[in-house]
């Protein structure tokens, strides 16, 4: 496929993303996930108490810092803070679209229909249009992968890789998986152990500096309050939450939360032709396979929001990127449709924190519309939620780790 023709896919995806961004921007609603409001609460607590209080354990400092900086800029300029941070999020969305497009350009005989499946996936779009850390962390994680795979001779490349990985890891700790895969690629594909050691050492040091700077603020608060007297007591910040699912419950969540990426019909159609696709685990694809498996296992450990699976989803699509099956055209159509209208075969009592599930078969509003309505409903009283997030975060962390 010519470079000119392939660019049409990127321009088309950008146009559609922009059209979907407009109602989100106009309504000034930052997301349907309460974690979006918690990010604002972290900023407000820092301004009020000069103390870093994570939006949720274990802390997501680089992304929290990014959001806080632009909220502060908006306040200085006296402009709508939601408009500014949503605009920054949209830039991240288009940047990630372009990075994925660059991966497909590098893949010989890559099928750009699969690129469209990625960028029009409901979970990808919802995460890209919400103030949440998934895109920030994944953008820099996949940027590091791209640099080592396709730009190995670029000057200062190792340093750029380390910086990208550090930003990714300090946005979400589980993104350490990117560091592991990058290191393995450098060792076994580039045959350069010294470079791997430099990248690992530099990434760990930069990431530690970022985390420790923010954790020191929290520890100082605890120490002055007489809650903790030793740094080791802060290790409770890494305790997992929401891990009380039994095996059946965990596996059920794990399987069901994969489906919204393509919608019910799109997932069924892909599954029906999975063995006819060009699924090749060789050379660079081996490392995409590692990304897929490791992020899936990470999600199995804590199967909560679908956005955690974005790197696994992208890695899987890169694994089948050379597939030419005609069914892919229909899957693209069904993926786009699932944003607006989809066949649902189950219903939960509460989105993102379900305790029960009922089986049914019905055509209902798609995932993007469902998310849009939910975020509008939450935002009907958003000023309360902003102040409430600040207060509840402070109360949750004021007596020690909330997950201890």
Concatenated DSSP letters of 342-380: EEEEEEESSTTS-S-EEEEEEEEE-HHHHHHHHHHHHHT
For residue 2, what pLDDT is reported? 55
Angstrom distance (rounded) from CA 198 to CA 353: 42
For residue 279, what pLDDT is reported? 86
Contact indicator for 30, 37 with CB cutoff of 8 Å: yes
Q: How far is CA 174 from CA 58, 262, 271, in A?
A: 10, 24, 28
Concatenated DSSP letters of 232-247: GGGGGGG---S----H
Residue 352, pLDDT above cutoff 70: no
Share of the chain above pLDDT 90, in %: 79
Angstrom distance (rounded) from CA 148 to CA 73: 35
In what helix (H) or strand (E) does residue 167 lie, and over which residues does it extend? Answer: helix 157-171
For residue 59, what pLDDT is reported? 94
Region 276-301: what's the mean pLDDT? 93
- Sign of dihedral through CA atoms 323, 149, 309, 95? negative
89/233: higher pLDDT = 89
Picking from 58, 14, 10, the residue whose alpha carbon sits closest to that of residue 404 is 58
Phi/psi for 154 (5° steps) reads -65, 140
Please tell me the number of Cα atoms within 13 Å of 337 on its side-chain side: 17
Contact indicator for 332, 120 with CB cutoff of 8 Å: yes
Total residue length of the chain = 404
Contact indicator for 82, 29 with CB cutoff of 8 Å: yes
pLDDT tens for residues 129-185?
999 999 999 999 999 999 999 988 777 899 999 999 999 999 999 999 999 999 999
For the chain, give the mean pLDDT: 92
Residue 347, pLDDT above cutoff 90: no
| Chain CA centroid to CA 114, Å | 19
Share of the chain above pLDDT 70, in %: 94
| Residues 194/200/205/208 CA torsion (nearest 10 deg) | -170
11/279: higher pLDDT = 11
| Chain CA centroid to CA 36, Å | 13
Picking from 281, 358, 365, the residue whose alpha carbon sits closest to that of residue 320 is 281
For residue 56, what pLDDT is reported? 92
């Amino acid at each position: 496929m010519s470079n000119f023709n392939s660019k049409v896919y990127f321009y088309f995806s950008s146009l559609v993303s922009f059209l979907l961004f407009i109602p989100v921007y106009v309504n000034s609603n930052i997301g349907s996930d309460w974690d979006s409001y918690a990010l604002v609460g972290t900023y407000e607590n820092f301004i009020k108490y000069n103390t870093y209080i994570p939006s949720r354990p274990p802390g997501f400092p680089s992304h929290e810092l990014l959001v806080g900086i632009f909220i502060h800029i908006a306040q200085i300029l006296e402009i709508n803070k939601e408009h500014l941070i949503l605009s920054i999020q949209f830039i991240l969305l288009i940047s990630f679209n372009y990075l994925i497009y660059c991966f497909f350009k590098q893949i010989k005989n890559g099928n750009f229909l699969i690129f469209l499946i990625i960028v029009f996936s409901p979970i990808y779009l919802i995460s890209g249009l919400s103030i949440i850390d998934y895109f920030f962390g994944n953008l820099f994680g996949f940027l590091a992968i791209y640099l080592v795979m396709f730009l190995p001779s670029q000057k200062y490349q190792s340093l750029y890789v380390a910086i990208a990985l550090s930003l990714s890891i300090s946005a979400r700790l589980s993104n350490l998986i990117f560091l592991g895969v990058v290191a393995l690629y450098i060792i076994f594909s580039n045959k350069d152990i010294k470079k791997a050691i430099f990248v690992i050492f530099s990434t760990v040091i930069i990431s530690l500096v970022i985390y420790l700077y923010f954790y020191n603020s929290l520890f100082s608060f605890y120490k002055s309050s007489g809650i903790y007297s030793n740094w080791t007591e802060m290790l409770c910040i890494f305790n997992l939450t929401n891990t009380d699912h039994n095996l059946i419950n965990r596996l059920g969540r794990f399987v069901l939360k994969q489906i919204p990426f393509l919608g019910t019909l799109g997932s069924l159609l892909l599954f029906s032709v999975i063995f006819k696709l060009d699924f090749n685990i060789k050379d660079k694809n081996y490392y995409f396979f590692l990304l897929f498996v490791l992020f899936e296992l990470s999600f199995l450990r804590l199967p909560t929001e679908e956005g955690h699976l974005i790197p696994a989803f992208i890695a899987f699509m890169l694994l089948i990127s050379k597939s030419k099956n005609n069914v892919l055209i229909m899957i693209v159509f069904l993926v786009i449709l699932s944003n607006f209208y989809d066949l649902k075969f189950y219903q939960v009592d509460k989105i993102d924190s379900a305790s029960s599930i009922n089986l049914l078969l019905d055509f209902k509003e798609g995932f993007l519309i469902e998310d849009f309505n939910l975020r509008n409903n939450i935002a009907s009283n958003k000023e309360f939620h902003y102040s409430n997030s600040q207060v509840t975060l402070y109360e949750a962390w004021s007596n020690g780790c909330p997950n201890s």
